[in-house]
Chains A and B, each alone.
Chain A
Amino acid sequence: MSAKKLNLKEKYQLLTRDLDWDYSYEDRQQAFPFEEFEGIKITDWSKWEDPFRLTMDSYWKYQAEKEKKLYAIFDAFSQNNGHLNISDPRYVNALKIFLTAVSPLEYGAYQGYAHVGRQFSGVGARVACQMQSIDELRHIQTQIHAMSHYNKFFDGLQDFRQMHDRVWYLSVPKSFFNDARAAGPFEFLVAISFSFEYVLTNLLFVPFMSGAAHNGDMATVTFGFSAQSDEARHMTLGLEIIKFLLEQHEDNVPIVQKWIDKWFWRGTRLLSVVSMMMDYMLPNKVMSWKEAWEMYFEEAGGSLFKDLARYGIRMPKYSDIIEKEKEHLSHQVWWTFYNYGHAAGFHTWIPSDQELDWLSEKYPDTFDKYYRPRWELAKKMEAEGKRFYTKALPQLCNTCQVPMLFTEMDDPTQLSFRESVYKGDRYHFCSDGCKDIFDDEPEKFVQSWLPVHQILQGNCGGPELDKILGEFYGFNVGADNMDIKGSPDEKRWKEWKGVA
């Protein structure tokens, strides 16, 4: 062994923690007012182990290099008309969902980490959050640029910001993130860094990035690799926060458990959109949602929760329900969008016969029994010129804001309804998980901006659907929505490809 030199950890400490200062004339507690109100007890910030050790100057160096490489590929993709190499124009509808639902969450993450990065009195946590905040800003920018090429050739990508703010189904991801950002700083990190970035992120990234690779979308694949190279820091921050909270004080354990219960449930609801994308929207399939869930949640998450059990943390509440949902989620969600295809900012379709067979094979216990007959009926009705769209506005869950489309898991023919009365008003939920979350923080969730309620209250551009969709949501009605069959997207694709 050679003489001891400063290792990375010591160098990093000198460059971060030693930048903190003592408060001589102000009360430190008042400088960090959010640190205690969640009930979390921190006894010793010095026990925080920096999850990564990257100094600002090397951060800029690395990120600049990544950008250079990424934008060179975007340029090449664009100059070579890369959109012509995708498998099928249906694929672009997955991107439309990504851009309107997921990319704005990156921006929300940028704001969220900037906010909580100010709120911790421990300097290690502050620096980690601030760096992640900058990463997230990079991610939204690169996503916009990756998809801007498609906006020149396909409908539905023209105004993701307005859509994210207003469109009924996009209130699901938006309210998820707003809930996290409106929570205290520790809950935010458990929600986003741990539950989402560490445990559930693979279920978002793998479908989109592998989906892009399987369907010839090199711009999105490249963006995905670029973003994932930042994820290491984000994931390790998620691990550190959970260990830190659990080790700092035993009174934190039940609080953390409650947050894990809440955010895993909310996460599964959010990912239900991804489930339909994997099973129905990717023309070239990667794997079924059920397979992805088993691999990334049940196996990887299982070993994580086995380790967490040593801290007294158990599997998230309703894990038994979640396990059953993998058989049903994608079918129930895509069927709902098919029913509301006229009110969606992307195209819908009936799976091809080959795709129906694939679903039968991947879901032998449920698809033929519960879901295939519906598609056979829809196919028959479409052939008879009777394509139907559901006219009534759906009832939304007051917590996750997903329409009441989920069934009881032990009886997939029975829709699941739950309700609570708070201060004389009745609130509706899709599940016990969502009801519990409301019951624990009713004052927060009575403020939910529920798109259907807002339409009925006249806050969304009037009573006519076309006005809501066109003016309030910003859709090009007749182009962005309805079936892919007969859409301008399909027409242009056929022209480019020279098929009738």
Chain B
Amino acid sequence: MSYEVTIEPTGDVIEVEEGQTILDAALRQGVWLPFACGHGTCATCKCQLLDGDVELGNASPFALMDIERDEGKILACCAIPESDLVIEADIDVDPDFAGFPIKDYTATVTEVRDLSPTIKGVYFDLDGSMEFQAGQYINLNIPGVDGVRAFSIANKPSSGEVLELHVRLVPGGAGTSYIHETLKPGDSLKVSGPYGQFFTRKSDSKDVIFIAGGSGLSSPQSMILELIEEGDSRQIYLFQGARNAGELYNREIFETLEQEHSNFHYIPALNAPEQADDWQGFTGFVHEAAKSYFDGRFDGHKAYLCGPPPMIDAAITTLMQGRLFERDIHMERFLTAADGAEEQGRSALFKKI
């Protein structure tokens, strides 16, 4: 049994297991809430309950006083949901967040194409046009699979009536196995979206760096196609990481864009090129490519990172050591069942990292 907790003002939705605290569930699901002590004495994680019932847990009577309890205040680090909830936390809504409504769609497969030996491109027609921001994701209901699977949208927002997803085969993964082995044109699936806080910060005029690894190219592809379509004149850099040339998919799209647009720069990096690849480009990890290209200095840019957790982690360190900080780094971690290991203890130093 689990409950759904909606966190305003961002509208993020998390699943909280029976007996789990709201804070624990939020942090595990990548939703940041302010916190410090973690055990009910400091009140950093105080939230307003807007709807639903909670057990207040071991909140100290000084951290959560009677007058506050009467007002419906709760401490996220102690509070355990007893129904679906809506809470309001002391977090900021990004001014660039459009807050498009989340809706349900029926998606009909039009094509399943090999993009690389491990990644398939899946193309759908939607039964309605979805409004979304480039970078956001959808939840897909896959037949025979419990729960939903999240995939970033690879098409640009101006073609909201279709849906393009890049799906990497996760060994032993039920959802991705189905998509790779069983899904075929004409099949219909239930989709909901758009979700997520990963989107282009257009109000910021700084030049942008995209760092993508594996099937994490999907969001940057959508974001870049949109920026170019809108005639945005800022410098745009795409660093795409892959193991070898076979895994470096959609390369032609970006090589063509680079030829047509002087403000777009495409820097692919292979960390284990094959002999047959005859690779002339950067050899090494994608964060090393970025470091080498910018000579280790990134200040004055916005960075968007999308891919597997180790790549994101390495990229953040590289960017921060090059003087680009949390407020200018946006990321989408592609977690799979293989990354299921418990996150190590984290400090409260960073909000999103």
Contact = CB atoms under 8 A, between A and B. Distances in A.
Interface of A: 1, 4, 7-9, 47, 52-53, 62, 65-66, 69-70, 225-226, 228-229, 231-232, 235-236, 239, 242-243, 247, 250, 299-300, 302-304, 306-312
Give the top 5 A-B pairs by smallest Cβ distance, nearest first: A1-B99, A232-B42, A304-B347, A232-B44, A229-B62
Contacts of A312: 321
A7 B97 CA distance: 14
A53 B37 contact: no
In terms of DSSP, what is the predominant structure of the interface of chain B? loop
Contacts of B348: 235-236, 239
B300 interface: no
A225 B44 contact: no
B235 interface: no
A303 B347 CA distance: 6
Contact of B345 (A62, A228, A299): A299
B11 A66 contact: no
A239 B99 CA distance: 30
Interface of B: 9, 11, 34, 36-37, 41-44, 60-63, 65-67, 90, 92-93, 99, 316-317, 320-321, 323, 325, 327, 344-350, 353
Given A7-B93, A66-B65, A225-B60, A307 B350 contact: yes
Contacts of A70: 62
A236 B61 contact: no
Nearest to A9: B92
A69 B42 contact: no
A327 B271 CA distance: 45
Contacts of A311: 320-321
Contact of B347 (A7, A62, A307): A307
Contacts of A225: 41, 60-63
Nearest to B91: A7
Given A1-B11, A7-B93, A69 B65 contact: yes
8 contacts: A1-B11, A8-B90, A9-B92, A225-B60, A232-B43, A235-B37, A300-B347, A303-B347
A62 B9 contact: no
Contacts of B321: 310-312
A1 B194 CA distance: 13
In terms of DSSP, what is the predominant structure of the interface of chain A? helix
A4 B93 contact: yes
A226 B62 contact: yes
Contacts of A9: 92
Contact of B62 (A4, A66, A235, A307): A66
Interface-central residue, A1, A52, A247, A304, by most chain B CB under 10 Å: A1
B108 to A, nearest CB: 29
Contacts of A242: 349
A53 B90 contact: yes
B350 A231 contact: no
Given A65-B65, A239-B349, A300-B347, A229 B41 contact: yes
B347 A250 contact: no
Contacts of A229: 41-43, 60, 62-63
Nearest to A246: B325
Contact of A62 (B36, B65, B325, B346): B65
Contacts of A62: 65
B117 to A, nearest CB: 34
Given A1-B99, A9-B92, A66-B62, A232 B346 contact: no
A53 B92 CA distance: 12
A376 B327 CA distance: 60
Contacts of B11: 1
A488 to B, nearest CB: 35
A69 B345 contact: no
B44 A235 contact: yes
A52 B350 CA distance: 15
Contacts of B92: 7, 9
A243 B349 contact: yes
Contacts of B67: 65
